[in-house]
Amino acid sequence: MTTIWARVETALAGINIPKAESVYKVATNGTYPDEYLVYFEITSNPTLNADDDEKNRGYHVQITYYNRDGLQSMPGIKAAMVAEGFIPGATRELPYNPETGHFGLALEFWYYEDQ
């Protein structure tokens, strides 16, 4: 069975900017790229049970886009995720990060999988 993290990686493979699972780490005294993605699983819950067994599971993931130039030229994250079977959810702008100089946008997606 493919993991949700592998599914997200596959969906985002065509977006050619740096990306990381959970946290983007830079070397000591290193600098962050001008734009990058971070993704993680928010929750994973059974959505259908029958005959004492889980039949379907829903995965709730977040992809956060960071860019020093703002959010107006964001790559096609939503289209890439939808093409791989994800359902778009809420989006929210994150506060500007004065430490790294990045603007951020968090995009949530759902994926349902038969077990």
With contact defined as beta carbons under 8 Å apart, do 70 and 34 qualify? no
CB atoms near residue 107 (< 10 Å): 21
pLDDT in tens, 14-68: 999 999 999 999 988 889 999 999 999 999 998 888 888 888 999 999 999 999 9
Domain count within the chain: 1
CATH number, position 92? 3.30.2000.30
Phi, psi of 60 (to 5 degrees): -115, 115
SS3 87: strand
- Say what the pLDDT of residue 49 is: 83
Residue type, 61: V
CA 19 distance to own-chain centroid: 9
Please state the pTM of the whole predicted model: 0.92
Instruction: Tell me how long the chain is.
Output: 115
∠ CA 75-87-103, rounded to 5° = 35
Structure tokens that stand for 18 in this block: 């740096």
> Among all chains, which residue has been given the structure tokens 């096609």?
76
Range of the domain at 21: 4-114
- Say what the pLDDT of residue 74 is: 95
